[in-house]
Amino acid sequence: MVITVEQLIKRAGELPPIPQAAQKALLLIRNPDTNIGEIAEVMAVDQVLTSLVLRWANSAYYGIGNHVSTVQQAVMVLGLNTVQSLILASSVASYMDRPVPGYELERGELWKHAIGVATGARMLASRFGRQIAEEAYHGGLLCDIGKLAFEILLRNVSVDRPEWKDLTFLELERAKFGIDHATLGAEMARRWNLPDNLVSTIAFHHTPSKAGEHAKIAAAVHVSDAAMMMLGQGIGKDGLQYKLETEALKLLNINENGVSDLIERMAIQIKELESFIGFDWKSR
Ligand SMILES: [Fe+2]
């Protein structure tokens, strides 16, 4: 059975797009000619975004007490990278937080996996500078977004045919449907007007050496994804046959010890992430 991207997106009809205000704000943040006032103005018309940045700017983490009362002040306190992460996270959280039975993932597991991959990818990419590190974080957050559209199809599909037993889950998706969750997720990101580096990272997060100019970011997401699988986080059906691309380690200039070190650091971070995962993103 070959399913087109159009049919898949149609079948995943309950997936809302990224809200318009969020899309506009993300576009403005990427434009070097935009000032903070313009970004704040777009965000201020959206109640969810307004309450989100005010709550984070006034949170204990930023340590300045309850003194931030406008979106513009909040954007200044948080910085554009954090604001961008919050907008992306809040846009996808509501549907990443639900169960994904097609991949045998419980409620919250895909979300927890996404936040973990994002955090590890940022750690790995930080050696290339802050900008790349933030891009890796966003890529990690969204890399498996295609699974949400796919999982409806996977629920009723038997995957135990003998000829499929040695395939990775990505290969199985292709064998069964003619498209994999990486390609599908990239198409969804393109439709949401997300930047090229994110589209490319999502498309190649299982094959980073093919990501061209974005290969380092895709490699950071890929290795972090593998590390999360090794930590047993968000495995589901998909983690059973994960193929780590050795080229990714070369792109990041790390060896297997570097991966072990990452796994140790991520295990500590995952505990600290619980409050982030438990955050009520839909609160208005
Ligand atoms: Fe994936």
**CATH code of 258's domain:** 1.10.3210.10
Is the CB of residue 20 less than 8 Å from the CB of residue 193?
Answer: no
Rg of the Cα trace of the chain? 19
| Paired tokens of 202 | 């999502």
d(CA 173, CA 171): 5
* Distance between start and end Cα atoms, the chain: 42
Residue 79 lies in a domain: no
d(CA 222, CA 182): 11
- Total of domains in the chain: 1
pLDDT tens by residue, the chain, 284 residues: 556 667 766 665 555 667 788 888 988 998 889 999 999 999 998 888 898 888 888 876 666 666 888 999 999 999 888 898 888 888 777 667 777 776 777 777 777 888 889 989 999 999 999 889 988 998 998 898 888 777 766 666 665 666 666 777 788 788 777 888 899 889 888 877 788 899 999 999 999 999 999 999 999 999 999 998 888 765 565 555 677 899 999 999 999 898 899 988 888 877 766 655 555 555 43
Residue 64 lies in a domain: no
Ligand 1 centroid–CA 46 distance in Å is 31
Ligand 1 centroid–CA 154 distance in Å is 15
Look up the domain containing 257 and give its range.
Answer: 5-16+97-277
Residue 43 lies in a domain: no
Ligand 1 centroid–CA 58 distance in Å is 34
d(CA 169, CA 185): 15
CB pairs under 8 A, 24+ apart, for 51-54?
51/283, 51/284, 52/86, 52/87, 52/90, 52/281, 53/78, 53/83, 53/86
Residue 273 lies in a domain: yes
User: Looking at residue 284, what is its pLDDT?
Assistant: 35
Ligand 1 centroid–CA 135 distance in Å is 17
User: Looking at residue 121, what is its pLDDT?
Assistant: 95
d(CA 64, CA 195): 33
Residue 21 lies in a domain: no
User: Looking at residue 92, what is its pLDDT?
Assistant: 77
User: Looking at residue 233, what is its pLDDT?
Assistant: 67
CB count in 10 Å sphere of residue 203: 24
Is the CB of residue 171 less than 8 Å from the CB of residue 178?
Answer: no
- 178: Cβ contacts below 8 Å, ≥ 6 apart: 1, 2, 3
d(CA 274, CA 245): 29
User: Looking at residue 72, what is its pLDDT?
Assistant: 94
Residue 152 lies in a domain: yes
Residue 178 lies in a domain: yes
CB count in 10 Å sphere of residue 249: 18
User: Looking at residue 217, what is its pLDDT?
Assistant: 96
Is the CB of residue 114 less than 8 Å from the CB of residue 140?
Answer: yes
Handedness of CA 214, 220, 225, 229 (dihedral sign): positive
Ligand 1 centroid–CA 33 distance in Å is 34
Residue 35 lies in a domain: no
Ligand 1 centroid–CA 169 distance in Å is 9
Ligand 1 centroid–CA 182 distance in Å is 6
Ligand 1 centroid–CA 225 distance in Å is 8
